[in-house]
Structure 1
Amino acid sequence: MSRPKLVPELLCSDLEVSLDFYVNIIGFRVLYDRPENRFAYLEMGGVEMMLDETPEISSDEGDWWTARATKPYGRGVNFMIEVADVHAIHDRLKRLRWPLFRPMEDQWYRAGESKVGNREFLVQDPDGYLLRFFTSLGDRDVVDSLSES
């Protein structure tokens, strides 16, 4: 079995709360866990990530934190996650009145001589990690898209 070349490990303040969000709301499944270590390895449609409950301590106390932990965690990064049906996740979050960081919208990003389209929204997890869920809208030529602007 092939493993992804990059798997983020998100340090979290409460594993049960994070698992409820990622599994019950978003739709990940637990591939394996180590409850005694407050750890879970998750998967959803080829996307893999790890959750690790770690006490909020300073980096000089020997844990994985590179600085004092303060929420929101993961400042300066957002995780772009392609999903088959971005509307399904969006609708579950809306039903639960989970606040969105950015609403659902179509975005076109220039990539060389073409533009890549995403239907996307952004949401923060219980620890403040920023997640950008999207479904691809395909590609189009930059020249063609200029006439549509």
Structure 2
Amino acid sequence: MKINPLVPELYVSDFDRSLAFYRDRLGFGLVYMRAEERFAFLEREGAQLMIEQPQDPSRTWLKGEEGCPYGRGINFQIRVDDADALAASIAAAGISLFLPLEEKWYRRDGELLGNRQFVAEDPDGYLLRFYSDLGTRPIVLT
């Protein structure tokens, strides 16, 4: 297995709840787990992340005051093959979306990049922006 050069490790307040959310609701696969450390390495379509419930204060790398929600100010962009299908699956599981499914075009230099996207919030407040690539188009000045 290839490990990406950047893999975020997210502190979570309830390991079992977060593992179920990422695995069962968002479709991340469990790559490996250290249950005794309340740690899991997860992957979905090449996107990788780790979750960990802090256990040992000497091995918890928090720079600020510990507390929930851990995900204050974090927004992860995750590319998926079919954002529409994932959004429908999440809605069917009774999870409300932080940002509903939309088509959004972002400027990059002289072109626009298209995304079919939505934002879900995990149990600790991390925002997960799932998107499918719609390609590019030129900027048309009117």
Q: Give per-residue Cα distances to partners, 1:53-75, cap 9 Å, x unaligned.
A: 115x9xxx542121123332222
Taking only the aligned residue pairs, the percentage that are identical comes to: 43
CA RMSD between the two structures = 1.6
Please show how residues 55-66 of structure 1 align to structure 2 within 5 Å: 62=58, 63-66=60-63
- What one-letter code is carried by the residue in structure 1 that aligns with 2:43? E
1:42 aligns with 2:42: yes
1:9 aligns with 2:9: yes
- What is the CA distance between 1:85 and its match in structure 2? 1.1
Distance 2:91 2:105 in 1: 24
Equivalent residue number for residue 129 of structure 1: 126
Distance 1:99 1:3 in 2: 31
TM-score in terms of structure 2 length = 0.92
- What one-letter code is carried by the residue in structure 1 that aligns with 2:38? R
Give 1 or 2: higher helix fraction: 1
Equivalent residue number for residue 117 of structure 1: 114
Alignment partner for residue 69 of structure 1, among 66, 70, 75? 66
1:140 aligns with 2:137: yes
Gap runs ≥5 in structure 1: none
How many residues get paired?
A: 141
* TM superposition outliers: structure 1 runs of 4+ over 6 Å: none
Distance 1:71 1:102 in 2: 21
- What one-letter code is carried by the residue in structure 1 that aligns with 2:78? I
- What is the CA distance between 1:131 and its match in structure 2? 0.5
TM-score in terms of structure 1 length = 0.88
SS of 1:97 mapped into structure 2: coil
Q: Give per-residue Cα distances to partners, 1:13-67, cap 9 Å, x unaligned.
A: 1111011110001001111110011100001111111011115x9xxx5421211
- What is the CA distance between 1:127 and its match in structure 2? 0.7
